[in-house]
Structure 1
């Protein structure tokens, strides 16, 4: 060996040693925070964590850190890209491969196989979405440290074969919750009973926003997931598990959404089996799954469920644990091994570190699965997208439950009438075998095909809201087409700017889901038994909720159209306002008209309502404001040569919006909504009612729970589980209850003195007890002669969309369509005899009002009123039963609230 060779080897060894030494010098959480992640009674906050992310990213060659947008409160979010140094040097190559395979455009199977071998699987791991679920936040920190610093062979293998995306979902809540918990010097007094929601507007509902993207945080996350990176696996950490278990995870229970590719479901199963296997190998019992965990793959809208509609394997776990030590209780039925819980755990004291260890193990199980199956994950991702494109290019029939029911009904009727001989049941399973001709009559019926495209005409009354709907699709990774000129198709003329959404793209399941009704199966514990509640909504079709008008197209559209770029949002076409000698009208059919009205009122310009057209009227001096509105919002503003004959002044009201300690999510959504439409409001609390502070408001809004109804005290216990002496004094006035004995009489007095109370959802049931002739039609006499609510074995309507008829002649409904699509969640409805002081806002006029979702016993709603107005003394009560402001999604019914906010 020459001296030169020896020097070369020594230099190489030195460099290698230096690199290893540097990797071992990564700052540990203990060095940064002053305690180990998982220590009892100890939490980090986001301010500390942001600096830790930056510090480790600067120290480790395994980490890229990228800004990912600000939160609602202005904190910076980051994407942490973690992989081997060599992978990070080529990160754009691997990101591009994932995008190409995920979109599946212009690729052959052979090209996709080649790319799958060249690429690296991408796995998303997040934490912190729900801030009181502190395991999720802290496992992210611990996993990040281990991946960025460890020399363990298994971790090095992960980093070599996988690209990991790590994301903190809710920085605002992290600071709020942790700072609250850590403010108590006495560890035994540390608690998570924060005074307000841990996301600025919607708290826990930040995980209900992933097809709508109202919140900034969900928009930031969608861009990363569906536009920029397209990971194959998305892991969303939550807590807590069912009593007597440690983790609830995949595989999940039925039903799964019928439009999924079967590869998605088997992909979820594969990852789930890898997770439970690892925990069992490591001696970590208590993993519950399938029907024992309660989580399904039906719903779109959650962090881990929405990826399903983009062919991504979404993983949710709910993990037991807290920084304050807890107990794993003994639950008898969960101490017996079964398929859904093969490895039960006994009762014991449980520490935070154990939860962190479980979470890190599950992260590693997923990374191990991806490392072993990377090329297959990438190819399957492509294959699901390719299948979607092919389904969108030809006739396709989705196998909805309604078709199976029609099939069986047609056969049974034929047997009953004697036109068909009943087939013998199969030997082993005693199944009812139905001749194929019945199958063909339904599953090959052209009327039952899936649409190949949807046309959203630019001449609909509220095109700006239609554009908002389309932008939710674009944020979610869908592309659309738009016409630059008018065209004719199917005997109908469409103007320029009309939007066409084609289904022949990889994310077709999401497109179908946003336009078509959900057909939730009748899911009960046993025939005739109680229903099994859906994980969240049963029906949510967004185009229906938003009141978008669209045409279904079942063939190719041979029309010149321009395709949008991925992730590039649309704006409504600008409209010029001609000079009007006698003023202008603003179409009240457009939701954004209310933004214009509020801007005009704030500018000191008088606004009126045309009683004949229901539109808003302003005089000629309003033109500068109107020019901006027409340009920015595409509002239809008509110049007038003659002033309308019958106009009424529109005056803004001083709005009080009810909230309570701990925070109301329905109220929070309306806070956000009022701000979007430029209403001014103040929050008021239970003590403000009892102390008559509410007298300063013109209108009181109670959205969701609040006013006591029946046996319910009105406010969920979640907002009251803390002793007053543990709460800083500035929050004391937020605490307390509304009571039947004290608060309800004060509210009645407020109305009699000229105030207005508007209720939406649960609180609307307060009118039953006012003694003004309003009954609850969902009550019946039981076998003991007592009047009680109709049993859920007879009537059960979880969040779904129903058809209703609106009385558009009433000022409270101005601008609404007569045929409304209403979001309904076991909502209050009303029965009464109408008078000049008690009148209806709308009714359910059929015994089958269901449009999307699940409505067991829907016939009970026939001829019931969905909303009412009661004039009491000098004031007014407006009670609206259904969720017309539902999570900031139901744009089609926003006007039912907005109209109440003016005099």
Structure 2
């Protein structure tokens, strides 16, 4: 795909133009960050093949190195994953120095290590997660101009602090500039690869034994110290959520047990059917790395200076993201508990089987996780309906409710909203029973009631400047059966949106990118520009005429500015030394009486990623949907500097604008397909139209603006 794009432009003014679509159908370079969630089929293929083939060393080549260095090699920058097995980290560090030494011996200058860019804190990289499976896994970054086009560099191109070509401890042979061609990059990568093979050949027995010892050490560690295990009940707000979590861990090679009888441990009784994830196994650190709370270290660029930004996420605790209650065992498991723990396994589905959906209750299609015998054995409790009547009531706390709603609309049924639940009518008994069975729904039957909800005519804005957030949203919509249309810039500018759509969703992208897109002359003409003033006017008219515009995270600033909403992003413009939080989990209060928060817990966990924080201004009409507590820190996992800028402020707002609504979500509800505990906020918003939207009100007294603060602080 990339080579085709490049070759189509070679010799033209667009030879080095960026590609106007993602190089992976949905998620672009996030395909490298799906290591533990395994949402994409490519991630599952890598995971399965690497476990079956069982390489001892995994080396993945990336581009590009920090300029003007020519290749970046391990050791990684600080910090690294808290529970990375030490023997594996030492092996990776040795490999990095081995590669650098061979590059120097071949006269290839410019190798560097560590720095402040490529840390290994986040375990989700597909080329780093295997380190938690006791494989020496790492990546390298080789310098590249753009595609295969040569480029000549002079010292004037270098950053000022690199122009003196001073030798440094981890950059002892500075590159002096000159021509750089794709052949040069290939030579560096080739020599680095030969160095890895040379190391593996020379130290074969050490590499093999160290892997064994690393696994053995983890078994011994978690036989002697906590946490000893995680107990995960079948009884959850969304009964499929723990299954989604555990299937992924099992697919990554962890063994999972299920209690055959009730047991009591540390004063708590766990019923039969409870899953147990014991940590005294060779991949125990992998389980702990994704299940525990992250505390990102307070690293500063200089004393009292701004914090060093994480290369990726700072906090990802899966039970928090997926809204799964987990009990951590801090005392050794007794013989009675061990006796009740039955190992889970069943016949696996062949990985190449021709099936549309081996397990309809989880959110990946095809064979999915069922090619792993342990993952295939992890299933939710059967779906069930309580009561009697012709109307099926579905709880939005269960994400599969939305799959059922979309199936129901496909089947010609009617849907209503009633008392915080969705009601499905005019559907056959057989189709109703199939949905409850396939999606493991805990549902109820009753009489006809509620506000009618026609199927939304849903549009998802898809800019030519590729958006991974749009791609993740598109993927999630497809997994849950939403009918939607992608809108390009020309579609938006064409106007008359209200005649075609009820709800339009904007991905989380910065205002400048959404407004302006690719600059004139940077790409072929058909891909130039963004929404522009004409597109914004069209969106404003859409809302005034009764449509719903959903603005996820970063796009909220565009909507506030261009639609002149009586809302302010109170952290906009604050310096990193005053307020900073990237990729972290925070706690908010939610107004569960509002249709947009239906199914949410009263205290919810959100994924905050340089997101906006709201307060309302004079003339505001609508409702605050979620808010931070007025005191204390909302941080649950990750990193937060400047908690006072969040205290008492709003995290999500429904703004009435003309006859329509603008929904501002100050968090990433579907970030990389991980925070399933907030998927329903996006899904509810995607269905928020017609009489349901017109009649929506929030709870009296849920929120009031906090006292004014110094607006100039930190600007």
TM-score of the aligned structures, taking structure 2 as reference length: 0.86
Q: 1:551 aligns with which of 315, 327, 339?
A: 327
> CA deviation digits over 1:190-225, x for unaligned, max 9?
345322111000011111111111110011101122
Taking the aligned partners of 1:736 and 1:766, their CA distance within structure 2 comes to 15
Corresponding residue to 2:534 among 731, 742, 747: 742
Structure 1 residues 299 and 188: alpha-carbon distance in aligned structure 2, compared to 1, 3 A threshold: same
Query: 1:625 & 1:505 partners in 2: Cα distance?
Result: 43
- Aligned counterpart, 2:704: none
CA distance in 2, matches of 1:519, 1:212: 20
2:337 is the alignment partner of 1:561: no
Say if 1:220 and 1:329 are closer, same or farther in 2 by CA, change over 3 A: farther
Taking only aligned residues, the RMSD between alpha carbons, in angstroms, comes to 2.2
Q: Greater Rg, structure 1 or structure 2? A: 1
What is the CA–CA distance in structure 2 between the aligned matches of 1:232 and 1:875, rounded to whole Å? Answer: 58
Q: Is the 8 A contact 2:547 2:659 kept in 1?
A: yes
Which structure 2 segments of 5+ residues have no match? 346-371, 690-715
Deviation of 1:466 after TM superposition, in Å, equals 1.4
The answer to whether structure 1 residue 697 and structure 2 residue 501 are counterparts is yes
Q: Relative to structure 1, is the Cα distance of residues 857 and 329 closer, same or farther in structure 2, using a 3 angstrom cutoff?
A: farther
Partner of 1:333: 161
Question: 3-state SS of the aligned residue for 1:856?
Answer: coil
Structure 2 vs 1, CA of residues 282 and 490 (structure 1 numbering), >3 Å: closer, same or farther?
same
Aligned to 2:436: 630
Shift of 1:393: 1.2
TM-superposed CA distance for 1:562, in Å, is 1.8
Which whole-Å deviations, capped at 9, do the CAs of 1:751-778 have from their partners, x for residues lacking one? 1111110011101123443444312222
Q: Which residue of 2 aligns with 1:900?
A: 685
Give the secondary-structure state (helix, strand or coil) at the position aligned to 1:812: helix
The residue correspondences of 1:17-36 to structure 2 (distance < 5 A) are none
> Displacement, 1:632?
2.0
Distance 1:816 1:835 in 2: 28
CA distance in 2, matches of 1:278, 1:794: 44
8 A contact 1:824–1:882 mirrored in 2: yes
How far off is 1:872 after superposition? 1.4
Whole-angstrom CA distance in 2 between matches of 1:493 and 1:539: 30
Does 2:625 align with 1:795? Answer: no
| Partner Cα distance (2:123, 2:260) in 1 | 32
Query: How high is the TM-score relative to the length of structure 1?
Result: 0.69
Matched, 1:821 2:646: no
**Matched residue of 2:58: which SS?**
strand
Counterpart Cα distance in 2 of 1:750 and 1:633: 35
Q: Which has the higher contact order (CA 8 A, sep 6+)?
A: 2
Distance in 1 between the 2:513 and 2:122 partners?
30
Q: 1:377 to 1:887 in 2, by over 3 A?
A: same
Displacement of 1:796 after TM fit? 0.9
1 CA distance for matches of 2:153 and 2:253?
A: 42
Which ranges in structure 1 are unaligned for 5 or more consecutive residues?
1-175, 396-449, 780-788
CA shift, 1:489, in A, is: 4.1
Check 1:189–1:860 CA distance in 2 against 1; reply closer, same or farther (3 A cut): closer
2:301 corresponds in structure 1 to 525
**Structure 1 residue 577: Cα displacement:** 4.6
CA distance in structure 2 between the partners assigned to 1:204 and 1:772 by the alignment: 34
SS at match of 2:417: strand
The 3-state SS of whatever aligns with 1:209 is: coil
- Larger fraction in helix: 1
Greater shift after overlay, 278-287 or 301-310?
301-310
Q: Find out whether 1:509 has 2:301 as its counterpart.
A: no
The answer for the alignment partner of 1:125 in structure 2 is: none
Q: Which of 196, 200, 213 is the matching residue for 1:383?
A: 213
1:702–1:760: 8 Å Cα contact kept in structure 2?
Answer: yes
SS at match of 1:749: helix
C-alpha displacement at 1:488, in angstroms? 4.5
Q: Deviations over 1:687-715 (max 9, x none)?
A: 32222153311111001116x3xxx3536
In structure 1, what is the Cα distance between the partners aligned to 2:66 and 2:10?
31
- Report how far residue 795 of structure 1 moved: 1.0
Task: Pick one of 644, 648, 652 that aligns with 1:867.
Answer: 652
CA distance in 1, matches of 2:426, 2:495: 42
Structure 1 match to 2:639 = 854
Report how many residues are paired. 646
Q: Is the 8 A contact 2:570 2:612 kept in 1?
A: no
SS at match of 1:275: helix
Distance, in Å, in 2 between the alignment partners of 1:518 and 1:219 is 25
Going from structure 1 to structure 2, the CA distance change for 1:277 and 1:753 (only over 3 Å counts) comes to same
User: Relative to 1, partners in 2 of residues 1:247 and 1:654: Cα closer, same or farther, differing over 3 Å?
Assistant: same
